[in-house]
Amino acid sequence: MAPGEGGQAPLLAGRGLHKRYGAVHAVRGVDISLSTDRYVTLLGPSGCGKTTILRMIGGFETVTAGVIALDGRPLLDTPPSRRPVNTVFQSYALFPHLNVADNVAFGLALRRLPRDEIARRVAEALQMVRMDSMGARRPRELSGGQQQRVALARAIVNRPRLLLLDEPLSALDRKMRKEMQIELKDLQRRLGLAFLHVTHDQEEAFALSDSIIVMNHGVIEQEGDPETIYRRPSNAYVADFIGGSNLVAGKVVACAGGEATLETAFGPARAPCAPGVAVGRRASLCLRPEQLVIGVGGSLGGTVRHTVFQGADWLVEVAAGSAALRVRCPDEEPPAVGGAVSLRYDPAKAWIADGALAGDA
């Protein structure tokens, strides 16, 4: 823990959050803590409970069990209209009968602020999202990216303590999504505002986040900065979901000083390991495609099954025993399909994560 961090109360603190819809247990005991000035993403596949958590904080979903506090004060008894948080909805939810400026002014007008102050703040917010020339347009006259910007302006103009973003970029095409990612991050830095962003796209999470919370089946699997999540996944689920690691399951036979030895189908493998890995437990050796090198004298051998051209490099799938290993090959010519290859990796850069995926031997 960094000095001073312990003493400071978090901006938002959720404890023991549960959500049940009838028989479905969507969120199962989540603790979440956000500090001011940080960009945090909730990352996970659809149905993992990430949007439910966002909607609980926004006030659009009741909480089956647990508490949420904002600035140290309980939040759950406050209706959404009085919570000092604002949301950017996935569908943008712009009011179709109001023009851009009136959409952005909606929240300020409800607070009965003086007209000139409303006009000034609306202009400021629109300028911040580079939509200052569009104030008189109707939402349906705007492109998806422009609607997204208006939705952002409409939320930040109220100067919330926390901005919630529910898959805000999912409706945009790839190029626009990349541009908006940069703008979102830039906006968050300039405003010095806490952003909580829900996404299923790991690239998006990496591009934006100071911290990523990986979720699965209603629980948090791991929380950390993007590099930690990518390089040191705590368990097999995170390793598989992030970065598409090759996972070689096995049994831990030795574990000391942050390193473990795993007995696998390819023989023993020794590498740094995640906390929680212990002798006798099942664990997975994580080898990301870019860590494997095709060459002679490697410890893994197999047959080339497919090669896929990816622009910058080739993705080569190698059948090794019962496993299929994906390898990034930077050469101009990929190895011939059907040929035997040998794979090697630097054990110091490999990683052993706790547990194994269901179905892995």
Q: C-alpha angle with apex 78: 76 to 79, nearest 5 degrees?
A: 110
Which residue number, 191 or 207, has a Cβ lying nearer to another protein? Answer: 191
Which residue number, 80 or 145, has a Cβ lying nearer to another protein? Answer: 80
Q: 281: burial class by Cβ within 10 Å (0-12, 13-18, 19+)? A: middle
**Looking at 36-44, 133-141, 242-250, 316-324, which segment touches another protein (CB under 8 A)?**
133-141
CA distance 153 to 256: 52
57, containing H or E segment: helix 50-58
Which residue number, 57 or 325, has a Cβ lying nearer to another protein? Answer: 57
Q: How far is the CB of 93 from another protein (least distance, A)?
A: 4
Query: Under 8 Å CB-to-CB from 36, ≥6 apart: which residues?
Result: 11, 161, 192, 193, 194
Counting residues that bind another protein (by CB under 8 A) gives 29
Q: How far is the CB of 38 from another protein (least distance, A)?
A: 21
Which residue number, 94 or 213, has a Cβ lying nearer to another protein? Answer: 94
Contact 318, 305 (CB under 8 A): yes
Binding mask 78-117 for another protein (x = CB under 8 A): -xxxx--xxx-xxx-xxxxxx-------xx--xx------
Strand 85-88 relative to strand 162-166: parallel, antiparallel, unpaired? parallel
Looking at residues 59 to 78 of the shown chain, list those that interact with another protein (rule: CB under 8 A): 59-60
Query: Under 8 Å CB-to-CB from 97, ≥6 apart: which residues?
Result: none
Contact 191, 156 (CB under 8 A): yes
Contact 155, 144 (CB under 8 A): no
Contact 41, 212 (CB under 8 A): yes
Looking at residues 144 to 173 of the shown chain, list those that interact with another protein (rule: CB under 8 A): 154-155, 158
Query: Which residue in 10, 44, 58, 233 binds another protein (CB under 8 A)?
Result: 58
Concatenated DSSP letters for 7-25?
TSPPSEEEEEEEEEETTEE
Q: How far is the CB of 75 from another protein (least distance, A)?
A: 14
Which residue number, 10 or 58, has a Cβ lying nearer to another protein? Answer: 58
Which residue number, 97 or 190, has a Cβ lying nearer to another protein? Answer: 97
* Side chain identity at residue 252, one-letter code: V
Q: How far is the CB of 105 from another protein (least distance, A)?
A: 10
**Looking at 34-42, 58-66, 188-196, 254-262, which segment touches another protein (CB under 8 A)?**
58-66
Q: How far is the CB of 42 from another protein (least distance, A)?
A: 18
Which residue number, 102 or 360, has a Cβ lying nearer to another protein? Answer: 102
Q: How far is the CB of 34 from another protein (least distance, A)?
A: 18
**Looking at 52-60, 232-240, 242-250, 304-312, which segment touches another protein (CB under 8 A)?**
52-60
Q: How far is the CB of 139 from another protein (least distance, A)?
A: 10
The β-bridge partners of 263 are 251, 268
The β-bridge partners of 293 are 344
Structure tokens at 323: 């496993």
Q: How far is the CB of 70 from another protein (least distance, A)?
A: 15
Which residue number, 21 or 95, has a Cβ lying nearer to another protein? Answer: 95
Which residue number, 150 or 262, has a Cβ lying nearer to another protein? Answer: 150
Query: Under 8 Å CB-to-CB from 333, ≥6 apart: which residues?
Result: none
CA distance 294 to 339: 12
* Count of alpha carbons within 13 angstroms of residue 144, beta-carbon side: 15
First to last CA, the chain: 38
Q: How far is the CB of 275 from another protein (least distance, A)?
A: 39
Q: Which residues bind another protein (CB under 8 A)?
A: 58-60, 79-82, 85-87, 89-91, 93-98, 106-107, 110-111, 137-138, 141, 154-155, 158
